[in-house]
Amino acid sequence: MTKKKVEIVEIGPRDGFQNVPEFIPTELKLQAIDGIIRSGVKRVQITSFVNPKAIPQMKDAKEVATICLEKYPGINFFALVPNLCGAQVAVECGLKEISYVISVSETHNLKNVKRSHDESFSGLSEIIKLYPNIIINLDVATAFGCHYEGDIPIEKIMTFLKRGYDMGIRSFNICDTVGLAYPLLVKEVIENVLKEFPDCEFEIHIHDTRNMGIINSYTAIECGINKIQTSIAGLGGCPFAPGASGNTSTEDLVYMLNKMGYETEIDFEVLLKTAKLLKEKINGDFSGHHIFINKNNVCNQ
């Protein structure tokens, strides 16, 4: 039996780091990225090119991207950009791939990037025109629900994707932005998008807010998604909600997938060492579990 391949897409250096209030020294960021790559991860969301006044944590975005692109030529790096200006810097750094985020819930989009759908899609159109050779992943935010608009009907997601598709987008990242997904919903959404857009690439981006990070990610895999975004140590989410809001922990998912006979090509122990390093050095919110296990202290009954 050939093993089923799952590609782990590490987004800790963006979504994880971005939610840490205190600035993480560039050197520590690079050390973590190095550990992630040494574990076998081949695709990393390296940073986001945003206004450093809005998100000071990402003020070293250019430096991090430039160094990594030079040091690891075989790795598939990409970065989040909120607008044309961000895309420009990303391209200047040498990135060949970017993520651009629009929320299916227009209310959330207005809160998150201060734009209407028309404005966001128009911004995307500009980037496509200016950089026709750059791969653009469309981050489909709030795909599984929104605190402002509630449930998102499947038809609305389809119309949203079609709008991106018609502009030339062939790579989508289906995001559970506020952690409202559950397995049955993941199944419904993923089966529909895969069926409707068979010539596109899909990734999934899950938050562990309601303790379904692992099961939702796994459900997506079972439905046919083979690129899963996760964050090392489960870092991310909101520092005011400890243990609750990070992305699915990379090492926890990798541990399970390796046990289940999936081919992740990732060395769990190397990854865990890096996750533990971050837990030790960063004052953040960690939703990973393995980082808390102390082998000398097995006291469950």
| Nearer to its own copies (CB atom), residue 164 or residue 236 | 236
- Considering only residues 100, 172, 218, 274, which one is a binding residue for its own copies as defined by CB under 8 A? 218
> Is 298 an interacting residue with respect to its own copies (CB under 8 A)?
yes
Euclidean distance between the first and final Cα of the chain, in Å?
37
In terms of Cβ atoms closer than 10 Å to its own Cβ (0-12, 13-18, 19+), residue 188 is middle
Quote the tokens at residue 148: 């402002």
> Is 101 an interacting residue with respect to its own copies (CB under 8 A)?
yes
- Contact of 41 with 10, CB cutoff 8 Å: yes
Considering only residues 197 to 216 of the shown chain, the ones binding its own copies according to CB under 8 A are: 207-215
Burial 58-70 (b: 16+ CB within 10 A, else e): bebbeebbebbbe
- Contact of 238 with 285, CB cutoff 8 Å: yes
**Coil, helix or strand at residue 204:** strand
| Nearer to its own copies (CB atom), residue 37 or residue 47 | 47
- Considering only residues 42, 59, 117, 147, which one is a binding residue for its own copies as defined by CB under 8 A? 147
> Is 86 an interacting residue with respect to its own copies (CB under 8 A)?
no
# of chain residues touching its own copies (CB under 8 A): 53
The CB-of-154 to its own copies minimum distance in angstroms stands at 16
The CB-of-291 to its own copies minimum distance in angstroms stands at 8
> Is 21 an interacting residue with respect to its own copies (CB under 8 A)?
no
In terms of Cβ atoms closer than 10 Å to its own Cβ (0-12, 13-18, 19+), residue 154 is middle
> Is 195 an interacting residue with respect to its own copies (CB under 8 A)?
no
Write the DSSP string, 10-25: E-IIIIIHHT-SSPPP
Angle between helices 26-39 and 61-71 (to 10 degrees): 40
> Is 293 an interacting residue with respect to its own copies (CB under 8 A)?
yes
C-alpha 110: how far from chain center? 21
- From residue 229 to residue 268, the character string flagging contacts with its own copies as x (rule: CB under 8 A) and all else as - is -------xxx-xxxxxx---x--x--xx--xxx-------
Pick the piece of the chain touching its own copies (CB under 8 A) from 61-69, 125-133, 183-191, 224-232: 183-191
> Is 173 an interacting residue with respect to its own copies (CB under 8 A)?
no
> Is 16 an interacting residue with respect to its own copies (CB under 8 A)?
no
With CA atoms as reference, report the closest residue to 127 among 88, 92, 164. 88
For residue 60, what is the enclosing H or E element?
none
> Is 107 an interacting residue with respect to its own copies (CB under 8 A)?
no
The CB-of-200 to its own copies minimum distance in angstroms stands at 23
Count of positions (residues) in the chain: 301
Query: In Å, what is the CA distance from 233 to each residue of 13, 15, 71, 97, 250?
Result: 11, 12, 24, 25, 7
> Is 20 an interacting residue with respect to its own copies (CB under 8 A)?
no
238 classed as catalytic: yes
Residues at the site binding its own copies, with contacts judged by CB under 8 A:
15, 18-19, 101, 112, 141, 147, 177-179, 182-185, 207-215, 218, 236-238, 240-245, 249, 252, 255-256, 259-261, 286-290, 292-294, 297-301
Q: Catalytic residues, which ones? A: 238
